[in-house]
C-alpha cells in the first residue's frame, strides 16, 4: 500500500467518524428532546442522552459484527 | 449512462489508468463507510426506542433491541447482495 493510499484511508476514517457523530447527535436529539419550553436540558433528557449514546455505540458494534460475518461468508463462497 | 462511463474510462491514457483504479478503490472505501454509517443509523432508528415512552432503563441495548439490530443489518446486507 502506498503512502498516498495510507493517507487517503486515514482521511476516509476520520470523515466517517465525523459522519457517525453527526448521525448519532441527530438520532439522540430526535429521540430524547421533545419540548422546548425551556432551553436547559432536563434531568430526564440528560439521562436519555447518556443512554442513547451508549445504545448507539453498541449498535455500531453489532452492525460491524454482522458485516464482518457476511463478508467472511462471501469470501468463503468465492474460494 | 453506464455505457458512457465505461467509454470514458477506455479513453484514459494507459499511464493514467493505474491512478484512476486507485481512485476507484478510494471511492469504494468511502462508499462502504458511508453505507455502514447509514445502516447503523437506520437500524438504530427502527430498533431502539430510547426516549420518554420507550426503554429508559439502561445504557445497553435490551435483548429485543440487540436482536433487532442484528437482524436489520443482516437483512440489509442480503438486500445489497440481491441488488
Tally of CB atoms within 10 A around B58: 12
Residues in B closer than 8 angstroms to A32, CB to CB, are: 50-51
* Contact (CB<8Å) B60/A66: no
pLDDT of residue A29: 93
In a mutational test of the A interface, the residue from B30, B51, B75, B82 whose CB has the highest number of chain A CBs within 10 Å is: B51
pTM, two decimal places: 0.84
Residue given cell 467472511 in the structure block: A72
Say what the ipTM of the complex is.
Answer: 0.85
Q: How confident is the model at residue B5 (pLDDT cuts 50, 70, 90)?
A: low
Q: How far is B74 from chain A (nearest CA, A)?
A: 6
| pLDDT at A8 exceeding the cut of 70 | yes
pLDDT of residue A71: 79
pLDDT digits 0-9 by tens, B23-55: 999 999 999 999 999 999 999 999 997 665 555
Amino acid at each position: 500500500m502506498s503512502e498516498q493510499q495510507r493517507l487517503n484511508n486515514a482521511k476516509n476514517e476520520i470523515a466517517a467518524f465525523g459522519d457517525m457523530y453527526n448521525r448519532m447527535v441527530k438520532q439522540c436529539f430526535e429521540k430524547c428532546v421533545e419540548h422546548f419550553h425551556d432551553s436547559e436540558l432536563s434531568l430526564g433528557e440528560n439521562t436519555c442522552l447518556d443512554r442513547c449514546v451508549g445504545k448507539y455505540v453498541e449498535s455500531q458494534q453489532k452492525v460491524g459484527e454482522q458485516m464482518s460475518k457476511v463478508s467472511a461468508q462471501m469470501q468463503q463462497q468465492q474460494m | 449512462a453506464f455505457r458512457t462511463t465505461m467509454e470514458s474510462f477506455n479513453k484514459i491514457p494507459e499511464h493514467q489508468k493505474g491512478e484512476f483504479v486507485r481512485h476507484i478503490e478510494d471511492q469504494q472505501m468511502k462508499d462502504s463507510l458511508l453505507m455502514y454509517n447509514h445502516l447503523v443509523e437506520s437500524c438504530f432508528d427502527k430498533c431502539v426506542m430510547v426516549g420518554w415512552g420507550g426503554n429508559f432503563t439502561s445504557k445497553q441495548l435490551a435483548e429485543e433491541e440487540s436482536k433487532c439490530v442484528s437482524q436489520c443489518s443482516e437483512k440489509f446486507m442480503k438486500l445489497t447482495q440481491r441488488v
